[in-house]
Homo-oligomer: A and B are copies of this chain.
Amino acid sequence: MKYPKAHEEFKEFLKDGKHRVTPERFEVLDYALDQKGHFGADELYIEMKKNDSNISRATVYNTIELLANCDLLSKRHFGENKTRYESNFNRKNHDHLICTNCGKIKEFSSTRVEDLVKQISDELGFDNTGYSFNIFGKCTDRSCDKYED
């Protein structure tokens, strides 16, 4: 078992009387945590199929949603019309800079963002459960894959 702690967390989450513990769900969990960076639900499904899994699309979509609900994954939207996910397991909160030239995504953490979210939610009487903060622009200099002088 590759991710015993995550399995344990997920199992706890499922044992609420409304969900069942199934091997398929843990198979999806393992694949999800193995992903590097951000991935889409369909990409994960296709990868599992390539590895001869018997999983169905519906189960992958269903399970990924559960994993996001129990905070093992984060849901992201980077201005495309698809949902992306990324592992939260052993990672701290962060936000994203997206280069509109080369598509690369840089990450940053800042308590200033979290403070601002709390402050604004309070001011406007809003019971905050999450946020999404993306900065779009261009990497400067040679760090950009499509940099041109």
Enumerate chain A interface residues (CB-CB to B < 8 A): 75, 77, 79, 81-83, 97, 99-100, 106, 108, 110, 112-113, 116-117, 119-121, 124-141, 143
Q: Contacts A108-B120, A126-B106 known; A132 to B75 CB distance under 8 Å? A: no
Number of copies: 2
A117 to B134, CA, bound (A): 9
Residues of B close to A141: CB separation below 8 A: 125
* 28 intermolecular pairs with C-beta atoms under 8 Å apart: A81-B82, A81-B83, A97-B120, A97-B121, A97-B126, A99-B126, A100-B129, A106-B124, A108-B124, A110-B116, A110-B120, A112-B116, A112-B119, A113-B116, A121-B135, A121-B137, A125-B141, A125-B143, A126-B137, A126-B138, A126-B140, A127-B137, A127-B140, A128-B135, A128-B136, A131-B134, A132-B134, A133-B133
Given B77, B112, B126, which contacts A79 in the complex, CB threshold below 8 Å? B77
Residues of B close to A117: CB separation below 8 A: 135
Give the distance to chain B from A70, nearest Cβ to Cβ, in Å.
16
Residues of B close to A120: CB separation below 8 A: 97, 108, 110, 135
Of all chain B residues, which has the CB nearest A82? B81
A139 & B126 in contact (Cβ 8 Å cutoff): yes
